[in-house]
Structure formats: C-alpha cells, structure tokens
Structure 1
Amino acid sequence: MTIVRQPTRAGVRDAAAKVAAILPPTPLFFAEIKGVEVAFKAESLQPIGAFKIRGAWHRLTAIDESQRSKGVVAFSSGNHAQGVAWAARELGMPAVIVMPEDAPRVKRDSTLSLGAEVVGCDRGKGVREKIAAHLAHARGAVLVPSFDDAWVIEGQGSVGIEAEDQFEEFGLDDGIVHVVTPCGGGGLAAGLALALPDAAITVVEPEGWDDMRRSLEAGWIEEAADEAPPTACDSLQTRRVSQLTFDVLSRRSATGVAVAEAEIRTAQRWAAHNLRIVVEPGGAVAIAALLAGKVTPEEGMLVIVSGGNVDADAYAAVLGRDD
C-alpha cells in the first residue's frame, strides 16, 4: 500500500522560508469595494506572472540531487508550466511540459523561453495527465502535478504566510480573517487553508467549472460536467479536484461561489483601473465575486490576485468592453 504524503502547516512554513530566500514578497494593495477596504495580494507580479512559482520551487527543491539530472515532467495549460520551467532552470534540471494545443500562446512561449520542452496535446479529459505520466516513466523523471501533490500545496500556501507578515507590517493587528481565492484544482486554496488556520476560506470558480464548490457542498468530490461551458479562465478548467485538496478544504469548512464570464471581465477592468495591474481571467475571479455581491467585503479580508498572463488582444478587447 502506497502512503501518500500529506501537506502540513509546518510544510507550508518551510516552503515560505524557501521562497523568501529567493524571491521578494509580492505587493499587498488596498482598495475599497462597497465602502470596505480590502487587501489584494498581487501574485500576478511574480517573475512568471503567477503564484505557481511557489509550489514548483518547493517541489523541485525537495527532489534528491541524485535524481535531478533526470528532470521533471508536468502538465499544465500555462502557469504551472512556467513555474516548473522557471524552477527547473534555476536548479539546472531538464523539464518537459505537456500543454493543450489551445493553451494561450503567451504562456506557451514563456514556458519555451524558460528552457522547457513542450509537448502538445488535446484538452480532452485526462489526456495530458496520461501523456505526462508516460513521459515521466519513460525518462525516469519526477512527475510534478499542478495541485495533487503535498509539496505543491505547501508551496502555494506560502503566499498566506507572506501575506500574514505583511498584515503585521501594516499594523493590522487583527490579522487575516477571511481569504477569497481563485480555485482550479484547489492547490492554492488548500495551501492557504493550512497557512491561515483561523481565517475563513472562500474559493471562487467560473460558472460551469465550479466543481470544488459543488464538492464542498455535497461532502464528496463532484466532477465538472462533460458539457461545461466555454470559459476565458484557462487556468481554472479543472474537471476533478484532488482528494488531497478537497480533504484540506473540507476539514476547514471552506465555502465556494461561482462567477459569470461578464463578471470576470468587469473584475479585470476594475483591477486595471483601481489596482493598476494586469490580471488574467482566472486571476480575477476572486475580485469578481466581491464586485458581484457573491462574497461580502469585510475588514481583514485578503483577496488573492493569482495571475496576470494575458493574451494581449483578448485583454485589449476586455478593456474596450462595457458589460
């Protein structure tokens, strides 16, 4: 029987120390929504434009040095791909990333520029996971999932430790009382739940892809429907969350909401005008939930802005709309 390593708060703190040793903290911005000042953690300003750099660094640095020459294999539509590619480059490890053919070109090009090999695939159910597992086995490489991994979850949770320290620096003595975060497979949300054990956790997903919300409400894992609608949130198109992430969030009584595509576009524009930052659709869903009234702003709230890797033409079109 294989024993699966479980993510822990101690692991999150170890990850935070690792990340702090190589990267500066991402900014914490403050802005009012419905008359309440809320904190926004700009993970979109990471070197790869997303929080995924955290989990990738914690995971790859945990690989024994004798194994590193065989490299790593990951599967991702883009942000995890870039995180793994960046960490592999810093550690001198080969990296292969399996990416859907329809992944945003900006994410694919960035992954290649970081030195990773990219293998294209169809976005069909389970295809990239199977290809990645085959490649890892054939090469003797370490498979690095985007969320179904204890080290990755702990690494993503380091953002919570970092934000907690920033709250103290700003003199917010009551600390973080509620975290609102984008959610795909739940690695970031689960990591935050471990990092901030006293804070309420709300996950936000695009409509039709809100499998974590439905899973938390049902008490067991629910998959996204095969006929799930199109969404601009390529980074949040996860059909099934993992047992690891679900268990952490379920134990913490996390809740979830879903936001519409128009609400996401409104959030992207709001972030550009009020925070002066570029946010990709998947990175804007937590903001969208507040603006749409699906989550009530409150003092001590932390909103995660998880990524900013946008297609230039698509982003320009969003800014030019009024919906």
Structure 2
Amino acid sequence: MATVTDPTRTPFAGPSLDEIEAARAIVGRVARQTPLESSRFLAEVLGAPVLLKCENLQRTGSYKIRGAYHRLSKLTAEERERGVVAASAGNHAQGVAFAARELGIHATIFMPVGVAIPKFQATRAYGADVVLSGSIVDETLRAAAEFAEQTGAVLIPPFDHPDVVAGQGTLGLELLDEAPDVATIVVPIGGGGLISGVASAVKQRAHREGRSIRVIGVQAANAAAYPASLAAGEPTDIAPVPTIADGIAVSRPGALNFAIIRDAVDEVVTVTEDDIARAMLVLMERAKLVVEPAGAAAVAAILAGHVPADGTTIAILSGGNIDPLLMQRVIGNGLAASDRYLKLTIMLPDRPGQLARIAELLAGVNANVVEVLHTRHGRGLQLSQVELDVSVETRGTEHRQQVIAALRTAGYDPVVDDE
C-alpha cells in the first residue's frame, strides 16, 4: 500500500478540466455511455453503497477506445497519411484499430506472439495489419517503435500522452454526471492512463465545486510498479511476475501518468491473484458481468478490505476482453479462493471398499464430487497403498472444514493441495 501526496493540490501535471471537457465532445462520437449498476452484494461487503461502472460493455470491450480515438483525432492530415502504429496485448490494440478505421487511417498493430486468439482476431477484424513480435509486451513495444522510425508511422502510446490521458478523463466526467454524490472512485492501474485521466477530471471539478472525492488506484501485486515508484519519488522499473491481470502488467509507470498520480491520487493498493479471481467470480455470479482480470481489480480491492466505507463508492470495470480458456481457469481459481472447490489427496490401503468408503463420507457431509483419480502408480507409494486424488464442491469455509474433519475423524489423513 502506498500513500500519495496532497490530492487537493492544483493545477495537475496533466490536461486541464477544460481540455478534458473538450475531449468529451470528440470521444462522444464513438464511445457509448456505459451503464452504472448498483451492487447490493458489494454494498453489504463494504458497508456503503457500491456502483459498478461497466466499461467492459464499452465498444471494443474496454475504456481504451476513449484515449485512442481522442489521440488519433488530433493527428494532422500529414500524420494521418503516414498511418499509425501501436503495440499491445489486447485492449489498446483494439482501441487503436477501431479508432483508425473510424477515422480512415491505416493502422499497424504489434502484438506479442502468445497473444490470446480472440484479441488477435478482434484487432484484425477492425481492419488493422497485425504483426506478431516478441514474447513479452516490452519486446513488442520496441518492435513497434522501430517500425515507426523506419516507416514514419505515428506511434500511439497506450497511456503516456496528454491526448490519451484527456480521452480517458472523459470517463471521470461521466461518473460525476451519473453519480454526483460519489465519495470514492476505485480504478485499476497499469501504466496509469485511466486513473490519471479520471483523477485529473474528478479532482479538478471537485476542487472547483469546493468538495473532495477520494481516488484509489489498484495494481496486481505481481506487477505493481507504482508503489515502488511513489516510494522512490520517480518512475522506477520493476521485474513483473506473471499475472492473470495482463492488461495492467506494466514494468514502468508513464512519466506524465506518474506525475498526475503522485499529485492527484489518494492511495495505491495491491491485490493478489486469488483476490482478482474471487472478484471475477463475484461479478459473474452476483452481477452477471463478464470482466477480464485487469478489469476486476477495483472489485478485488473492495473484497480484500482495501477500500474505506465512506459514502458512495464507484468501482470501474475497465474491460471485458478475456480469453475463454483463461476464464475457465480463473473460475476454478476463484472457486478455490472462495473455499468452494477443494482438492484432496488421500493415501488408502489397497483393499476393496476403500473408494466406496470415501464416497460415503463425502456424501454424508453433502460434498459434491467433481473429479476422482485412483492410482496404484504414484511416486513413493508402498505396495499396499493406493493414492486417491479427489476434487469436491463445497459451500464455503465452514463446509470445507467440515469435509476435512469428517475424513480425519474416520481415520484418514487428507492432504489439501493449497496447504
């Protein structure tokens, strides 16, 4: 957790409120006003009203269309003729490709070799030339920069540019119009484009109106460049660990974004992989919303207890572009993190009736068996032993403990895979 300096200080390093309001007229040509939905479940968790800003339902599936379209709309006729280039693992790619198509500009998008197929296909469907290059986004960014230097195409940065920040700031104005009594806004952070735009807009308008609004940023703990940078007082490189929230996995803050966040954001917190998976599951089950891991970070912070209960809170769901295969894995992780999915390994004597006995014990505590693997060939097994791997559905922490206790009371020694 990192606390930031006085958020009432103005002016900010980024675009002025007038510039963001002007950007709104431009962005409004393509971006839809996404729903702002209340969440009773999250309100009960937080102890205060919670609203969900559904940018996962935005055109192209994320807020990125706002900054991309605004930046491209500012290009000169000569720059448009040269075309644009961008690098991204997904949402920025789709935003730039869509904006270029709408404005009649040729776009080349560099994406990592391992990019999710749905994101690759969507970017190409918007009319961009897609080039797969590099195994990580930093390598892809370098390839795009080299392409820009060689061809003269205009490089469109994902977050570190005033026009991009102003475009993302239009979301902040939208929030204030929809929920004028908002007290706290929780925003996912990668490079910082979204939160620097939102914070610039809401802090400047709140200052003009003589009131305060808290802005909290959220990073994945495995890729949290901002806490280290804020502590150092300048943008600092980190070595990110792989995270399911690849949309906010950035190794270094943007220079402009850092300056705005330092001055305008009240706090930056981090969430774990389990926190994110649990948040995605909550959004699917309770709100009927499909949100990508990065887009669920704000809700993850609420569930993890990082957000104070101080009036109406808005959690921005920044995107919904998720690979179905990743979703399948995340649902499993989310169930496990919520104590609703339990994997056990049990050593059994190799004699008839043992598997039936385990099934009977599990049925006795109403645990639904999902998967069973029964083998005599596990490493380290005695000739008189078999290994049973069993996965069961549970109803939560208390039921999980009841299942384990029933097996131990019957004389078995189950090993839980996360212990």
Both structures adopt the same fold (TM-score exceeding 0.5): yes
Aligned to 2:33: 25
Q: Which amino acid aligns with 1:220?
A: E
8 Å contact kept, 2:295–2:320: yes
Aligned to 2:277: 265
8 Å contact kept, 1:221–1:240: yes
5+ residue gaps, structure 1, are 169-174
CA offset digits 1:21-51 (Å, max 9, x no partner)? 3333000011132232211110000110000
* C-alpha displacement of 1:6: 4.8
8 Å contact kept, 2:89–2:137: no
- Stretch moving more, 8-17 or 298-307: 8-17
8 Å contact kept, 2:112–2:132: yes
8 Å contact kept, 1:153–1:188: yes
Matches of residues 1-323 of structure 1 in structure 2 within 5 Å? Answer: 6-32=14-40, 33=42, 34=45, 35-124=47-136, 126-168=138-180, 175-197=181-203, 198=206, 199-225=213-239, 228-320=240-332, 321-323=335-337
* C-alpha displacement of 1:130: 2.0
8 Å contact kept, 1:11–1:151: no
Would you say how many aligned residue pairs link Structure 1 and Structure 2?
311
Aligned to 2:6: none
8 Å contact kept, 1:16–1:162: no
Rg larger in structure: 2
* C-alpha displacement of 1:104: 1.7
8 Å contact kept, 2:32–2:59: no
CA offset digits 1:231-274 (Å, max 9, x no partner)? 11111110001110000111125311111111101000111122
Identity of aligned residues (%): 38
* C-alpha displacement of 1:208: 2.4
Distance 2:14 2:184 in 1: 24
**Deviation >3 Å, runs of 4+:** 123-126
Query: SS of 2:279's equivalent?
Result: helix
Distance 1:251 1:38 in 2: 25
* C-alpha displacement of 1:125: 7.2
Query: SS of 1:208's equivalent?
Result: helix
Q: TM-score, normalised by structure 2?
A: 0.71
User: Measured at CA, do residues 285 and 6 of structure 1 come closer, stay the same or move farther in structure 2, by a change above 3 Å?
Assistant: closer
8 Å contact kept, 1:216–1:256: no
User: Measured at CA, do residues 179 and 216 of structure 1 come closer, stay the same or move farther in structure 2, by a change above 3 Å?
Assistant: farther
8 Å contact kept, 2:269–2:306: yes
Q: TM-score, normalised by structure 1?
A: 0.91
Query: SS of 2:38's equivalent?
Result: strand
- Stretch moving more, 60-69 or 301-310: 60-69
Distance 1:11 1:106 in 2: 35
* C-alpha displacement of 1:188: 0.3
8 Å contact kept, 2:161–2:256: yes
CA offset digits 1:101-142 (Å, max 9, x no partner)? 122221111101111111112244742222111211222211
- Stretch moving more, 294-303 or 181-190: 294-303
Q: Which amino acid aligns with 1:22?
A: V
Distance 2:308 2:265 in 1: 17
